[in-house]
Amino acid sequence: MTTVVLVLLCLAIAGRELYLASDKRLPRAQAELRELRNQVSELARRHDALKTVVDEATEPAGIPIPPPPPEAPPSEVLERLDSLTGRVERLEKQFGDLADELAGIDLERDAQRALARSLDAVEQDVRELHREMLERLDREEGVVTGVLLSEEGEAEALLADAYERCAAEYGLRPRVRDRRSAEATGAYRGTVYRLSGRRPEVLAEDMFTYVRGLYDPRDPSALNALLTELAALRGGGVARFGPFTAVSTPHALVCGVLPDEDTPAEPWQLADRIRELPPDRQSDLTWLRPDG
């Protein structure tokens, strides 16, 4: 606006000069013209000063002016973003939980493998100790291998109690009881024993001699109690003390003295093997069976 005023004043002065050129009152007009020029100069100076002040006032003072904030996204976009954020957080948590579980499983597997190795080592040590103990006992007082089996483990507890009472009656002490070896015989379950205190051959002769003289089913001996339990089995059963062997089948109960190497897998095979022995090495006790 100030610039427009200055331009108009300049035009007025120029017009005034043309007018005064023909005026006879030139001196006074020239004085007025000089006055007008001074006023224009003053106005120009004041204009420049004012412009300088305005420029200084609007110049940045070194503090950055932040840009205007962007327009807020629509509410629908915000809701979808919140939903995605929540899903990501849940997935991250699930991933962390799975990682912890996998780490726990790996640790558990490592612990199980270490435990299995330790158990194998302990089992090996126990077998070695048993072997050394039995070798020493065999040299000093004799060791007898015993076997007690019944079909599907029938009357297992009663048979075991009668067997060990019979062993004690004949001066035997159970040193090792191995159920796993007995379970390897298929459908027949029970225990393989290592008993110390007697020589196998002498023990077998004593037991067989007693059986040959047995005639009363109410005989109070522990050996008769064991034979009675065998006779009561519905299936098959075997009780051995070294070479002395008693075998029960669904229809018979026989005893005999068999070599240790004669160990057929099934009771009926043992019964057939006993019946092949000389008459003075076998005894038929079927009369002890409830239906005998």
- Tens of pLDDT, residue by residue over 63-74, are 555 555 555 555
Give the tokens for residue 270.
Answer: 């043992």
Region 194-216: mean pLDDT is: 92
What per-residue confidence (pLDDT) applies to 262? 52
Residue whose entry in the numeric block shows the structure tokens 């005998």: 292
Residue 231 Cα distances to 105, 203, 263, 291, 292, angstroms: 52, 22, 20, 9, 9
Percent of the chain clearing pLDDT 90 (strictly above) = 29
Region 257-281: mean pLDDT is: 81
What per-residue confidence (pLDDT) applies to 245? 94
| CA–CA separation, 210 and 224 (whole Å) | 9
**Phi, psi (rounded to 5 degrees) for 195:** -115, 135
Angle at 210 between CA 209 and CA 215, to 5 degrees: 120
Mention every residue, 6+ apart, whose C-beta is less than 8 A from residue 141.
Answer: 196, 197, 198
For the stretch 94-116, pLDDT in tens is: 777 777 777 777 666 777 677 67
Helix (H, G, I), strand (E, B) or coil at 289: coil
What per-residue confidence (pLDDT) applies to 93? 74
Q: What sign does the dihedral 225-231-235-237 (CA atoms) show?
A: positive
pLDDT of residue 169 exceeding 90: yes
